[in-house]
Structure 1
């Protein structure tokens, strides 16, 4: 998960609003195995997960890794 979330945190953490920081921290509380499956598209994101923030993470990864 460090390879997935670390670059996002390095690039965006300082510019995130307090509510977005809370959202990011909430995602970090998810089990790594679940979060990885959601980010890799191996399992659908549960309805109670923050899909919008997960989409931001995926968009950042696409932007930085082509």
Structure 2
């Protein structure tokens, strides 16, 4: 092969090219579910942190709930 010459690739639209494109496009379902769970958990933790900060600010301002 000459230097700088393009490498051989299957022609677009062939069965081999479609199979490789499909493999590269979609990550496994486990990886997709993992990202979903990770994003959900990060959201829950973020809301919890914001709630604690608001509660601390309200307590510092003297807004407490009488018992």
> Which has more radius of gyration?
2
Same fold (TM over 0.5): no
TM-score (norm 2): 0.25
TM-score (norm 1): 0.26
